[in-house]
Amino acid sequence: MRSEIVLFPLQVVMFPYSKMPLHIFEDRYKKMISGVIESGGEFGIVLLFEANLQIIGTSSRVIEVTKRFENGEMDIVTEGTKRFRLYSYDVGNDELYRGKVEYLEDDNQLYDKSEMYKAVENYNILVDLAYKGSIKKISLDDGTWLDGRRSVCYSMAEKCGLSLKEKQQMLEMDTEQDRLDFISTYLENVLPKLKEAERISEIIKSDGYIQ
Which of 67, 14, 26, 55 lies closest to 210 in space, CA to CA?
Answer: 14
pLDDT tens digits for range 115-143: 999 999 999 999 988 888 788 899 988 87
CATH number at residue 58: 2.30.130.40
Distances, alpha carbon 180 to alpha carbons 28, 59, 110, in Å: 38, 22, 10
Which of 74, 76, 49 lies closest to 60 in space, CA to CA?
Answer: 76
The span from the first CA to the last CA of the chain, in angstroms, equals 33
Q: Is residue 157 part of a domain?
A: yes
Q: 119 and 99 share a domain?
A: no
Strands (E), 69-174: 74-91, 97-103
pLDDT tens digits for range 30-68: 999 999 999 999 999 999 998 899 999 999 999 999 999
Q: Containing domain of residue 17, as a range?
A: 2-103
- Residue at a domain's end among 103, 124, 149: 103
Q: Is residue 129 part of a domain?
A: yes
- Residue 103 near residue 169, CB atoms below 8 Å: no
**Is the pLDDT at 206 greater than 70, yes or no?**
no
